[in-house]
């Protein structure tokens, strides 16, 4: 009897260990030159790899750069870019490394310098006139804060949409992903589902719509590895020092947050408001973490008013 129990336990443990490797992996294709040509859109080669981007609007207009976070790629700006272009702005959105159709550099850790270098080189190679206005959501917010702190003369205004500031609500899961082997196992077991099932939206219908878009981009190899590298770098750590430098720049700063945001807490946003007392703050009813995608009409009005009147 004891022997049967031991064998049963062993079999169960073996199945648990092997199950992720028996599942069908969504990552089946490589982002090659041929694939990029078929995908269409715009790609530019930077020092760390190719970046997928879209640049719209008159060259005479002031430039706004949209920086997405770790929840989803540049498609999360689908409902915002045209509204800003229609107001006369030149607007750039791009996939940060590891996301969308941008390359997934084979680095053990993705740090703030990687994302900063990507944005700086993108501005330079596209010959964008500075200073620019930055709009960053989630981790994109901390990327914007770091960029402004590192290149203060290049930034005119910043809009933070539920930005990563000093903490986020999934820190325990992040600490597991940071662990070698454990992180790889979790990503193998649950990565495909979790990275295509956005739990950062309020409406079920909008979740399904975004899920279908994410599945198309999940098929390219390196996405899950890139997410782990991001978790293991400094990019998701407390970014308070960079927001302090933003305050010292004395430029117009906007902050929005949705009352149903399960990723960034209201307490964290409260601490950011204390740090930058003159920040323009808007709290959106019902909105969740990706308010710019789901509540685009409200966000677009807030952004346009901020860009025009501050």
Instruction: Let me know if residue 288 belongs to a domain.
Output: yes
Region 164-189: what's the mean pLDDT?
A: 84
Phi, psi dihedral angles at 255 (to 5 degrees)? -135, 130
Integer Cα distance of 292 and 222 in angstroms: 27
Q: Average pLDDT for residues 209-231, to the nearest whole number?
A: 90
- For 160, the token pair is 């933070």
Sheet holding 155-163, edge to edge: 42-46, 49-56, 90-94, 63-67, 132-138, 155-163, 253-258, 280-284
Report pLDDT for 3: 56
- 161-170 pLDDT, tens digit per residue, is 999 999 888 7
Closest C-alpha among 206, 172, 230 to residue 291: 206
Burial 92-122 (b: 16+ CB within 10 A, else e): bbbbbbbbbbbbbbebeebbbebbbbbbebb
pLDDT at 249 over 50: yes
Does some domain include residue 8? no
Q: Kindly state whether residue 295 falls inside one of the protein's structural domains.
A: yes
pTM: 0.90
| Total structural domains within the chain | 1
**Predicted pLDDT at 9:** 43
Domain that holds residue 298: 31-309
Q: Which of 43-52, 202-211, 234-243, 276-285 has the lowest mean pLDDT?
A: 202-211
Residue 222 included in any domain: yes
- The yes-or-no verdict on residue 19 having pLDDT over 60 is no
- Whether 171 shows a pLDDT value over 80: the answer reads no
Q: Are 222 and 104 in contact (CB under 8 A)?
A: yes
Asked if pLDDT for residue 7 goes beyond 60, the answer is no
In a domain, 169, yes or no: yes
Q: How far apart are CA 45 and CA 10, in angstroms?
A: 50
Alpha-carbon distance values, 284 to 140, 235, 260, 297 (Å): 19, 26, 9, 11
Residue 305 within any structural domain of the chain: yes
In a domain, 157, yes or no: yes
For residue 10, the model assigns a pLDDT of 42
Is position 57 within any domain?
yes
Neighbouring C-beta atoms of residue 77, cutoff 10 Å: 24
Mean pLDDT of 42-56: 97
Residue 150: give its domain's CATH number.
Answer: 3.40.50.1820
When pLDDT is cut at 50, 70 and 90, the band that residue 213 belongs to is: confident
Average pLDDT over residues 1-6: 57
């Amino acid at each position: 009897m004891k022997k049967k129990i031991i064998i049963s336990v062993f079999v169960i443990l073996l199945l648990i260990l092997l199950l992720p490797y028996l599942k069908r992996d969504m990552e089946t294709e490589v982002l090659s030159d041929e694939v990029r040509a078929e995908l269409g859109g715009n790609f530019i080669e930077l020092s760390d790899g190719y970046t997928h981007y879209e640049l719209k609007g008159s060259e005479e207009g002031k430039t706004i750069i949209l920086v997405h976070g770790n929840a989803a790629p540049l498609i999360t700006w689908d409902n915002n870019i045209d509204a800003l272009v229609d107001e006369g702005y030149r607007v750039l959105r791009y996939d940060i490394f590891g996301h969308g159709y941008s390359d997934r550099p084979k680095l053990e850790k993705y740090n703030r310098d990687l994302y900063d270098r990507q944005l700086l080189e993108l501005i330079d190679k596209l010959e964008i006139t500075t200073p620019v206005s930055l709009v960053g959501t989630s981790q994109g917010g901390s990327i914007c804060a770091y960029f402004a702190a590192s290149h203060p003369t290049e930034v005119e205004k910043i809009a933070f949409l539920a930005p990563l500031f000093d903490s986020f609500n999934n820190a325990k899961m992040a600490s597991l992903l940071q662990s070698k082997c454990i992180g790889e196992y979790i990503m193998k077991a649950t990565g495909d589902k979790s990275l295509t099932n956005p739990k950062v939206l309020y409406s079920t219908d909008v979740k399904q719509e975004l899920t279908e878009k994410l599945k198309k981009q999940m098929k390219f190899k390196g996405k899950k590895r890139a997410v782990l590298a991001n978790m293991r770098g400094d990019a998701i750590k407390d970014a308070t020092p960079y927001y302090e430098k933003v305050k010292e720049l004395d430029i117009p700063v906007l902050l929005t947050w949705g009352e149903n945001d399960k990723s960034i807490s209201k307490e964290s946003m409260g601490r950011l408001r204390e740090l930058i007392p003159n920040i323009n703050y808007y709290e959106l009813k019902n909105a969740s973490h990706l308010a710019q995608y789901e509540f685009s009409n409200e966000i677009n009005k807030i952004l346009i008013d901020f860009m025009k009147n501050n």
